[in-house]
Amino acid sequence: MSRMLLSRCAAIATMDDARTEVVGGSILVEDGAIAWLGAGDPPAGLADGADVVDASGCVAIPGLINTHHHLYQVLTRVRAQQDGLFGWLTELYPVWAGLDAEWVGAAAGAGLAELALSGCSTSTDHHYVFPAGRGDLLGAEIQAARELGIRFHPTRGSMDLGASQGGLPPDVVTQDPDTVLAETEQAIATFHDPSPGAMVRIAVAPCSPFSASERLMRESVALARRLGVRLHTHIAETSDEEAFCLERFGCRPVELLDRMGFLGDDVWLAHAVHLSAPDITRLAATHTAVAHCPTSNMRLGSGTALVRELVDAGVPVGLGVDGSASNDGAHLLGEVRQAMLVARGRGGPAAMTAREALWLGTRGGAACLGRDDVGSLEPGKRADIALFDVTGIATAGIEADPVAGIVLAWPQPVHHLVVEGRFVVRDGALANVPEADVAGRAHRVARQIVEGHRATGTAAPAAGGL
Ligand SMILES: [Zn+2]
């Protein structure tokens, strides 16, 4: 039996249903799960033989949960700097057409490490670019997550509407629906673990109703429900998308998903920025969750999601950093702060508290990914714990409220990150992989991309379709 005692934290924000907080409390971890949590030390004998970690300068929160990402984009940051979504996609698709397993592995290694260093213990990835003959792309990113020690929910994404069919992506990054569905089922059989405490789960994620055909969207829904895995896609990200949807399909984006059976308590949707009041009511009625990506929405000038209205309507809302080509950094505690500030910019100072933003990054994220075993610190839950040092310069003066302080002050890197009872970050450094190797590999492949040494895609299509 392995035991670890995180001793005498400055504060613990449990994010349990009662939103319990403990000052000067400790957390006992046993075989990957939380065995005891409370003020002071555990009862005599309970922590015998434990590896004792002094946490007296740290605020402990549940490991943060990232609900939307495109890890391969880590190697294509800072592109299309002044473009909105469609112009940005048009510039980047031909670059992404050069993607292979080495690119994906290097990008996932760096991207997941970047997240871990910001306090993220569980991340998803929406990977939907599968050029033929480029190796096991999903396997490459799962290997990176295993080496790092983070909990990982990659999705098997897809696109089948290429330029030759009026779509936006070049044909080389699309696949026919039969291949998509067969490879998705194979990925689930190979990697998906439905058991409690699972480190890897797969979801089904056609890219969007504008790059995936109606047949692929509907059959993805059927496949996911037959196999008992979750569904994910992009929706209502921009006003262009809304106008296109009304013109082409005669309905709003959320209504289009509804027609396809793509709403429900097994679905989480990225963005959901441009919603009508009936859209919000429908998402709530179907218990569909939303991945809110505030920085990405601002980087692309897409708009501001109606998070206050979604939360008040009962829609589960988690946070996502989104791909690193539309949010050139991936600091998940920073995204918590960003969500709070964006909500206040739109709705005034009472629109979102620091603790509500933390809830989105923990419990909201767990709801998006369908996990009831992570997202809060309670006996019986998995031991996914982020500890932020509050003794440094940037946190001087947060003593009056250290829990809110880690959100209101400038976001700091995590000090310790524990996932499934094991260190992923210890004393501010990656515990299981050499940081210099991860960074070196990512920079080497990124240089090859810039210098044009990777496979090249076809030219971008002329304007006229999505
Ligand atoms: Zn996205």
The token duo for 110 is: 């760096």
Distance 293 CA to ligand 1 centre (A): 9
Distance 314 CA to ligand 1 centre (A): 23
Q: 38: exposed, middle or buried (C-beta count within 10 Å: 0-12, 13-18, 19+)?
A: middle
pLDDT at position 166 is: 83
The mean pLDDT of 442-446, rounded to a whole number, is 97
- pLDDT tens digits, 30-39: 999 999 999 9
pLDDT at position 462 is: 35
Whole-angstrom Cα distance, residue 29 to residue 27?
A: 6
**pLDDT higher than threshold 80 for residue 464:** no
Distance 397 CA to ligand 1 centre (A): 37
Distance 47 CA to ligand 1 centre (A): 44
Distance 421 CA to ligand 1 centre (A): 30
Distance 321 CA to ligand 1 centre (A): 9
Residue for token pair 């880690």: 406
What's the mean per-residue pLDDT of the chain?
95
**pLDDT higher than threshold 80 for residue 460:** no
For residues 14 and 376, is the Cβ–Cβ distance under 8 A?
yes
The mean pLDDT of 146-165, rounded to a whole number, is 96
pLDDT at position 465 is: 34
For residues 219 and 226, is the Cβ–Cβ distance under 8 A?
no
- Poorest-confidence range of 264-268, 321-325, 366-370? 321-325
The mean pLDDT of 413-430, rounded to a whole number, is 98
Distance 237 CA to ligand 1 centre (A): 9
User: Which residues line ion ligand 1, judged by CB < 5 Å?
Assistant: 322
Distance 379 CA to ligand 1 centre (A): 34
39, amino acid identity: A
| 352, β-bridge pairs | none
pLDDT > 70 fraction of the chain, expressed in percent and rounded: 97
Could you tell me the pTM of the whole model? Answer: 0.96
pLDDT at position 455 is: 61
Nearest to 317 by CA among 365, 350, 369: 365
Distance 196 CA to ligand 1 centre (A): 27
The mean pLDDT of 395-418, rounded to a whole number, is 98
- CA end-to-end span of the chain: 55
- pLDDT tens digits, 300-359: 999 999 999 999 999 999 999 999 889 999 999 999 999 999 999 999 999 999 999 999
How confident is residue 456, by pLDDT bands cut at 50, 70 and 90?
low
For residues 174 and 163, is the Cβ–Cβ distance under 8 A?
no
pLDDT at position 301 is: 94
